[in-house]
């Protein structure tokens, strides 16, 4: 669920744009309000298309393996998919994911649409990652097509430079 006046975008948010605040459920159906979770840190928002697919699982495990660099005193990372919470619960359990993996299932893709990374033809988010400052301004982003993995090293490098 979006907080405030955010609308679907045809193009992804760009550097300098202000990202919408949002509230989504984690696998236990606990509501996470992004700006409260981030609490003045840089926010790393990682959209992924589908749970249990090869590239998505590898990317999420990459975040898991680099979590001390991506969620700490200066940064907080969340991953978002249009999958249902029950699916994400099993994914987080099987892969040992100890960061918020949030469901944008209903209204389907609402948050991904507000970030401009929802693909209505496939019903899923593109591989979009946004690094936001404490005021939710996009400081860096990368958008990849569904089959193309992102480089976790890029997230770590950008956070170190900010």
Active site residues: 56
Secondary structure of residue 67 in the 3-state scheme: helix
CA distance 112 to 81: 8
CA distance 20 to 7: 9
Residues composing the chain: 162
Kindly report the backbone phi and psi dihedral angles of residue 96, in degrees, each rounded to the nearest multiple of 5, phi listed first. Answer: 65, 40
- Region of 40 on the Ramachandran plot (φ > 0 left; ψ -120 to 50 alpha; else beta): left
Residues with Cβ within 8 Å of 159's Cβ and at least 6 positions away in sequence, in order, are 42, 44, 69, 70, 74, 75, 131
Q: Cis peptide leading into 52, omega within 30 of 0?
A: no
């Amino acid at each position: 669920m979006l907080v405030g006046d955010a609308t679907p975008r045809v193009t992804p948010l760009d550097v300098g744009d202000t990202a919408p605040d949002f509230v989504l459920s984690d696998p236990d159906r606990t509501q996470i309000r992004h700006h409260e979770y981030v609490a003045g840190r840089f926010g790393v928002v990682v959209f992924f298309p589908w749970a249990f697919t090869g590239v998505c699982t590898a990317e999420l495990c990459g975040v898991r393996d680099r979590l001390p660099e991506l969620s700490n005193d200066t940064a907080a990372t969340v991953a978002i998919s249009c999958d249902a919470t029950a699916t994400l619960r099993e994914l987080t359990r099987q892969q040992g994911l100890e960061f918020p993996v949030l469901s944008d299932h209903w209204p389907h893709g609402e948050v991904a649409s507000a970030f401009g990374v929802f693909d209505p033809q496939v019903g899923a988010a593109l591989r979009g990652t946004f690094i936001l400052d404490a005021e939710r301004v996009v400081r860096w982003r990368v958008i990849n097509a569904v089959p193309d993995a992102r480089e976790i090293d890029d997230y770590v490098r950008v956070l170190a430079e900010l």
